[in-house]
Each structure stands twice: as C-alpha cells, then as structure tokens.
Amino acid sequence: MSRWIWAAAYAAAVAASFYFKDEILDWVRNSDRSQLVPMTLMALFLALVPVIPYGIVAGLMGAKFGLIAGSFINLLASSAAAGIMFVLARFVLQRSARDFLSRFKQLDRFTAVYERNPFIGVLFARLIPIIPSPAVNIYSAITRMSWMAFMTATVIGKVPVMLIFAFVGEHVFSNMRSAIIAISVYVVFLLIVYITYLLWRKRSLSS
C-alpha cells in the first residue's frame, strides 16, 4: 500500500508542477541572489520532477550565481535528485519502473554494455546525454548496482554538462560569443566522448 502512496504522491507532484510550471519558472527567473537556499531546493525539486527541462533551470542558476556557485547548485541538485529517484525506483517503484523503461528503445543497445560494467555505463550515460536522466536513474536502480557506485559515476559524469549550463547561463545575455564558444567546445567534447564510448562498447561486446 505504501508503494501506491509514494507513487500517487509523485504523480501529484508532477501534475502540480506541470500546471504551475510557468509560475515556478517565473519565480526562479525573478528571484535574487539572496534566495540561495530556496532556489537550491527548487532546483532539486525541478530536477526530481522534470516538467521543465533542467538545462533551462541550470542556465538560470548560472545567470544568477555565476559559474562556480551556479555549477555547484546544479551539480548538487541534479545529483541529489538522481540519488533520490534511484532509491524510490529500487524500493518503491520497481515493477512500474520496468514498464517505464520499456518506452526507451535506446536502452536496448545500452543494456549489454551496462551489464558488464554498470559504473562505466552510468558514467557514459551522464557524459553523453542521449538517454534521459530519469531513465538512467531507474534503470540503474533495478540492477544490482550499488547506490554509492551510482552516485560516484553520476557526480563525475554530470560535472562537464553542469559547468557548461552555468557558463552559458552566465554569458548568454552579456557575452554571446563566449556562450557560443562554450557550446562549440562542449559539442566537440561530446563527439570525443561518444567516439570513445563506441570504441569501448565494441571492445566490450567482442571480449
């Protein structure tokens, strides 16, 4: 029964957030730097209930708090949300989690590699944001991967993208050229990581 209560509570949070998403986004956009703690908690909530693309939230954090503080808030909020979703999926939503994951065809190719080395699998999934983050969280939870290994791979893998989000958010209105350069560098980084992943996957499957 408690599982249904948790599931209903999460569904209610998603529904409420979707209904009030414009108001939530306006509050985040118009809040000032003095509201560090409330904005961090809101970032955590929006990472856990992704009705607003987290890249938008992360960019706003960078615009308000700068590269270092904004990146730290983004990393803290998104990683904490991933850890919470992992726990919920493992202990509360395991059956429905499998139904949810069946929607993501990209996971078919990911599964064989993931089962050989889940840490590397999560790390690549975070570095290459092809697979939606909630799918990675839930998929990891229904495997035998430990929470600590999942969180370590998640934090390491999220660092580059959260830095980019914060940097772009900080410069997009004041220095568009720097923002474009940062995005270009990140695209090149993604290509390098993706090629590395393909080579590693090929070697892993052939061994």
Q: How do residues 137-153 score in pLDDT, each as one tens digit?
A: 888 888 778 899 999 99
pTM: 0.75
The domain in which residue 56 lies consists of 2-206
Kindly state the tokens that stand for 121: 């699998």
> Percent of the chain scored above 90 by pLDDT?
11
- What angle do helix axes 147-171 and 54-91 make, rounded to 10 degrees? 170
Cα angle value 33/158/48 (rounded, 5°): 65
How confident is the model at residue 166, as a pLDDT?
A: 83
Question: How many domains are there within the chain?
Answer: 1
Q: What does the pLDDT average to over 50-57?
A: 78
Residue 4: pLDDT band with limits 50, 70, 90: low
Kindly state the tokens that stand for 1: 């029964």
Say if residue 127's pLDDT is above 90: no
How confident is the model at residue 1, as a pLDDT?
A: 43
Q: What does the pLDDT average to over 91-118?
A: 65
Q: What does the pLDDT average to over 184-198?
A: 78
Q: What does the pLDDT average to over 91-110?
A: 63
